């Protein structure tokens, strides 16, 4: 640990900011409106902001230690409470006494502005993909830290705390309100339940930024939608020999999977499917009375996703009819109650959404990249918490938390604090740019959104 802190201090000494920082707008990914660039310049050129950016770099070694502490508090899907309670404690220690855990399990706190500005929600998710019992102890190997969930999304939670520290330490008075949240349910079957609940309960939110993962190279401005179902097959079942002639739930399931596997999908917009899990039956010598598979369907276009869902369900209906018809001439005559049936249980619904590249929110984020001399390589589409506000027409982006890493969603997930201080620096510039800094710069989130 000591060796890594020394590395940090050397790194910071080489990247200290001057009294003012001015974006060079070198990036060519996002078109920048003159009014947005002019107003953002006021923020970037502020000596107070430059001082805050420097302090974030100096504070980064302690932020990494906090990231390790958070990582070692397990947060399996639907079991985020321990980590939520710790995060709540951290907020209250920072003077945010009004912080609370809502009915869904999200940690939420509002930092009021001076008034007359927008309300911005900035969040990172508490949950990991790893089930209960997985060891999350952090192991250091050279300049890397290894542990399940150390990047996705413990890094995002750490950046939130660093951002709050910076706002408090520098006495920044924002024009608009900032809501901070450590939310539940981003991964897997969590189905974005945390963010869905927040936007249900807080209609006043005007914009959203989520911090998720590591490596600062892109801005997520599109939300890949998904529909996930359990296809549940049921029938009479029976002995494999004496009841031969009855239809099988597993056979019907197999016919369905084969039909779905033959479906053709669009390349652009990208549309995909997979049968991820299967289960069913009683024993090797039983005609299956039940079977189930889980189907994941994704697309960057909501209409393409709807067509795929319709085709998959039609395949199941046809397969069940074929399985029932297969035994029409058998010695065992089928009664209605002896036929196979299929039900469709929705287990995941992530809406498709987009924030246009010319949105002031995206422009501010691009200018923040330039201010910190971080190359902006692309705007990307992914499935994140931002899907929800995007689908509601609320400007939203997802950015990474900084540093380097790999192996996400695997036991060998790792994080390296290489330039990781740029994560909280980027978040600070974006937040201040969007909500406005009193007597310095106006709230750019209030600019006309270019949909």
Whether 254 and 300 map to the same domain: the answer is yes
Q: Are residues 23 and 83 in the same domain?
A: yes
pLDDT digits (tens, 9 = 90+) for 162-176: 999 999 999 999 999
Residue 319 forms part of a structural domain? yes
Domain boundaries, position 383: 2-223+352-446
Q: Does residue 249 lie within any of the structural domains?
A: yes
Distance separating alpha carbons of residues 204 and 200, to the nearest angstrom: 10
And the tokens for 367? 């200018």
Task: Note whether 71 and 117 are same-domain residues.
Answer: yes
Per-residue pLDDT of the chain (451 residues; tens, 9 = 90+): 434 443 443 344 344 454 345 555 588 999 999 999 999 999 999 999 999 999 999 999 999 999 999 999 999 999 999 999 999 999 999 999 999 999 999 999 999 999 999 999 999 999 999 999 999 999 999 999 999 999 999 999 999 999 999 999 999 999 999 999 999 999 989 999 999 999 999 999 999 999 999 999 999 999 999 999 999 999 999 999 988 989 999 999 999 999 999 999 999 999 999 999 999 999 999 999 999 999 999 999 999 999 999 999 999 999 999 999 988 655 555 555 689 999 999 999 999 999 999 999 999 999 999 999 999 999 999 999 999 999 999 999 999 999 999 999 999 999 999 999 999 999 999 999 999 999 999 999 987 554 3
Contact in structure between 305 and 318 (CB atoms under 8 Å): no
What would the pLDDT profile of 140-155 be if each residue is shown by its tens digit? Answer: 999 999 999 999 999 9
- Residue-wise pLDDT tens digits, 23-57: 555 889 999 999 999 999 999 999 999 999 999 99
CATH number, residue 217: 3.40.630.10
Asked if residue 150 belongs to a domain, the reply is yes
Domain identity same for 38 and 148: yes
Residue 422 inside a domain? The answer is yes
What is the three-class DSSP state of 48? helix
Does a structural domain hold residue 451?
no
Whole-number average pLDDT of the chain: 93
Q: Give the Cα separation of 289 and 337 in Å (integer).
A: 12
Outline where DSSP puts E strands in 152-217.
177-183, 207-211
pLDDT digits (tens, 9 = 90+) for 74-127: 999 999 999 999 999 999 999 999 999 999 999 999 999 999 999 999 999 999
- What letter would DSSP give residue 423? H
Question: Quick one: 128 and 174 in the same domain?
Answer: yes
Single pTM value for the model: 0.90
Is the residue at 339 inside a domain?
yes
Number of structural domains the chain divides into: 2
The reply to whether 289 and 203 lie within a common domain is no
The answer as to whether 287 is a domain residue is yes
- Per-residue model confidence (pLDDT) at position 388: 98
Give me the pLDDT at residue 446, please: 82
Q: What is the DSSP string of 293-347?
A: EEEEEEESSHHHHHHHHHHHHHHHHHHHHHHHHHTTTSSSPPPGGGS-EEEEEEE
* CATH number, position 251: 3.30.70.360
């Amino acid at each position: 640990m000591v060796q890594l802190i020394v590395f940090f201090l050397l790194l910071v000494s080489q990247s200290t900011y001057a009294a003012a920082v001015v974006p060079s707008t070198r990036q060519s990914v996002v078109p920048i409106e003159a009014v947005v660039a002019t107003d953002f310049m006021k923020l970037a050129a502020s000596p107070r902001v430059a001082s805050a950016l420097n302090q974030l770099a100096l504070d980064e070694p302690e932020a990494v230690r906090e990231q390790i502490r958070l990582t070692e508090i397990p947060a399996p899907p639907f079991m985020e409470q321990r980590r939520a309670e710790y995060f709540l404690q951290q907020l209250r220690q920072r003077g945010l006494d009004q912080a609370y855990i809502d009915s869904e399990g999200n940690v939420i706190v509002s930092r009021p502005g001076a008034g007359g500005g927008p309300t911005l929600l900035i969040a990172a998710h508490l949950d990991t993909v790893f089930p209960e019992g997985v060891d999350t102890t952090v192991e250091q190997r050279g300049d890397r830290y290894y542990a399940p969930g150390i990047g996705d999304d413990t890094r995002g939670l750490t950046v939130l705390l660093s951002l709050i520290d910076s706002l408090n330490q520098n006495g920044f008075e924002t024009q608009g309100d900032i809501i901070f949240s450590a939310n539940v349910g981003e991964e897997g079957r969590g189905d974005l339940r945390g963010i869905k609940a927040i936007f249900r309960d807080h209609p006043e939110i005007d914009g959203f930024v989520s911090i998720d993962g590591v490596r600062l190279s892109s801005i997520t401005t599109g939300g890949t939608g998904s529909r996930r179902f359990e296809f549940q097959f049921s029938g009479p079942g029976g002995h494999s020999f004496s009841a031969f002639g009855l239809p099988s739930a597993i056979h019907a399931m197999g016919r369905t999977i084969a039909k779905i596997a033959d479906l053709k999908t669009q390349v652009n917009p990208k549309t995909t499917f997979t049968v991820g899990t299967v289960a069913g039956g009683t024993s090797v010598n039983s005609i299956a009375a039940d079977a189930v598979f889980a189907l994941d369907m994704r697309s960057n276009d909501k209409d393409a996703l709807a067509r795929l869902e319709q085709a998959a369900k039609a395949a199941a209906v046809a397969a069940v009819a074929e399985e029932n018809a297969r035994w029409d001439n058998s010695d065992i005559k089928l009664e209605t109650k002896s036929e196979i049936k299929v039900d469709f249980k929705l287990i995941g619904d992530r809406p498709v959404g987009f924030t246009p590249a010319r949105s002031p929110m995206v422009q501010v984020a691009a200018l923040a990249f330039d201010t910190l001399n971080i190359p902006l390589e692309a705007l990307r589409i992914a499935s994140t918490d931002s899907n929800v506000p995007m689908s509601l027409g609320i400007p939203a982006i997802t950015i990474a938390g900084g540093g380097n890493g790999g192996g996400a969603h695997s036991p060998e997930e790792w994080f390296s604090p290489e330039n990781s201080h740029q994560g909280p620096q980027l978040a600070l510039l974006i937040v201040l740019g969007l909500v406005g800094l009193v007597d310095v710069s106006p709230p750019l989130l209030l600019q006309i959104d270019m949909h």
